Chains A and B, each alone.
Chain A
Amino acid sequence: EVHLVESGGGLVQPGRSLRLSCAASGFIFDEYAMHWVRQVPGKGLEWVSGISWKGNDIDYADSVKDRFTISRDNAKNSLYLQMDSLRPEDTALYYCVKDRGAGYAYGDSWGQGTQVTVSS
């Protein structure tokens, strides 16, 4: 069974940084693309970033480009999101999402999310 566990969220001041992690298990991690998707409580979903199985193909939403960096460590079955220059509008629940395949870009398994709150 696929298991995705996010960590690293918390309360942070505007302009500061935070690094999210996602520990994956139950599947062959280095065969699948991975994504981060966020959701403001009570609001809709926003795709944040995606990374190919090998880590050499990466995309970002315009709202986080040049501030967030996605990466993965296939040896550790882990996905990361480095978030710099955080803004209040980055406040959301951040989900780690497994792609259907190497790059289908559909999320077929989701973690429970980690809350990020940006506030002074």
Chain B
Amino acid sequence: AQSVAQPEDQVNVAEGNPLTVKCTYSVSGNPYLFWYVQYPNRGLQFLLKYITGDNLVKGSYGFEAEFNKSQTSFHLKKPSALVSDSALYFCAVRDTNDYKLSFGAGTTVTVRA
């Protein structure tokens, strides 16, 4: 069985500062890892994914994520946050030995002007 943990309920940063949203996972096989963003009254939007290869993955809107197998982490990062990045962010994992896509509880990001 797989699981995902997002240890921070909320992350607050000033505009222009770097943004990091943390995610750790547990799988029995190898992971496929995903980040989604959710704006108010909207569905989840796909940001990026890690499948294999380069540990640094680049995605939409200037976001990137770093896969760390030894720490079983997949933290989302953005070098310079914008006020418009304020939203709810979800990490998700699929185990290559399974098929279910499991989500973390989410992290609310607030970027202040």
- The answer to whether A binds B is no
